[in-house]
């Protein structure tokens, strides 16, 4: 938020506008958790207005006073802003996203799934073991080769993928965060979803996972 704003904690946010990249995603989850930990009830939380703003425009919207607080993905460059909280403050280390393939696709194309997941897992570990400057330069080369007229300015702020597990292997806690939120929000009943049935590490070469059963090997 702006350094001269009047927001210092959760109880200052009802009646304020908060910029997020999407509704129902990580930004809303973390904001809701922050407000609950700050002692706000559901009525007060609903008084915080979420405004969907493209990430590239959030800092400008905040500085121009269009919103009172914004979820920023990089350190502000010109000062005048103040940090309230971050995702890490709430949840420490966790993987916030995953790739989705249907069970049918995994059964019919297990080798392709292994190639795709293996490539991503190796990329995660390469970026972890390679000097930051080299990784950023590789990103710049990729952006240039794509020829999409993209602005690569934000690459200067890259510090990592934010994926704590080796090769991006998933764990129950990565999904339980979301399930607990949905239960607290009244969207699903407690125990309605078995977290162990909604993900697998069976195709990740960096993870040992007995959930491979049911996805037989085949030649493609």
- pLDDT value, residue 218: 39
Rounded to two decimals, the pTM is 0.71
- pLDDT value, residue 210: 42
Q: Examine the pLDDT at 4 and tell me if it is beyond 60.
A: yes
Which residue would you say has higher pLDDT here, 108 or 87?
108
CA nearest to 120, candidates 63, 180, 161: 161
10-31: pLDDT as tens digits = 999 999 999 999 998 888 888 9
Query: What value does the mean pLDDT take over residues 193-213?
Result: 78
61-104: pLDDT as tens digits = 999 999 999 988 766 666 788 889 887 788 877 777 788 999 99
CATH class for domain 10-91? alpha beta
Residue with tokens 């162990």: 196
149-199: pLDDT as tens digits = 888 888 888 888 888 889 999 989 889 888 988 898 888 999 999 999 999
Kindly report the backbone phi and psi dihedral angles of residue 85, in degrees, each rounded to the nearest multiple of 5, phi listed first: -160, 165
Kindly report the backbone phi and psi dihedral angles of residue 81, in degrees, each rounded to the nearest multiple of 5, phi listed first: -120, 155
- pLDDT value, residue 123: 95
Nearest 10 degrees: Cα torsion 111, 114, 120, 122: -110
Domain ranges within the chain, ordered by starting residue: 10-91, 103-125+156-212
How crowded is residue 65: how many other Cβ atoms within 10 Å of its Cβ?
10
- Alpha helix (H) residue ranges in the chain: 26-37, 42-45, 55-63, 87-91, 103-108, 110-129, 132-146, 172-184
Which residue would you say has higher pLDDT here, 78 or 8?
8
Query: What value does the mean pLDDT take over residues 29-38?
Result: 92
Structure token digits, residue 200: 């697998």
């Amino acid at each position: 938020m702006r350094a001269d704003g009047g927001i210092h904690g959760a109880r200052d946010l009802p009646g304020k506008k908060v910029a997020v990249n999407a509704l129902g995603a990580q930004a809303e989850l973390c904001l809701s958790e922050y407000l609950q930990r700050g002692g706000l009830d559901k009525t007060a939380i609903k008084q915080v207005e979420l405004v969907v703003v493209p990430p590239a425009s959030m800092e400008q919207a905040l500085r121009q006073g269009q919103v009172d607080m914004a979820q920023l993905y990089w350190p502000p460059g010109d000062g005048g802003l103040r940090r309230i909280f971050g995702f890490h403050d709430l949840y420490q280390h966790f993987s916030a996203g995953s790739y989705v393939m249907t069970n049918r696709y995994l059964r019919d194309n297990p080798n392709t799934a292994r190639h795709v997941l293996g490539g991503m897992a190796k990329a995660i570990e390469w970026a972890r073991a390679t000097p930051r400057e080299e990784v950023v330069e590789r990103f710049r080369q990729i952006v240039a080769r794509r020829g999409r007229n993209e602005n690569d300015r934000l690459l200067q702020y890259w510090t990592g993928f934010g994926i704590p597990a080796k090769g991006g292997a998933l764990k129950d806690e990565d999904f339980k965060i979301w399930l607990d939120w949905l239960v607290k929000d009244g969207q699903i009943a407690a125990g309605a979803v078995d977290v162990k049935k909604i993900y697998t590490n069976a195709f990740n070469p960096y993870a040992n996972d007995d959930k491979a059963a049911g996805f037989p090997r085949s030649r493609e």
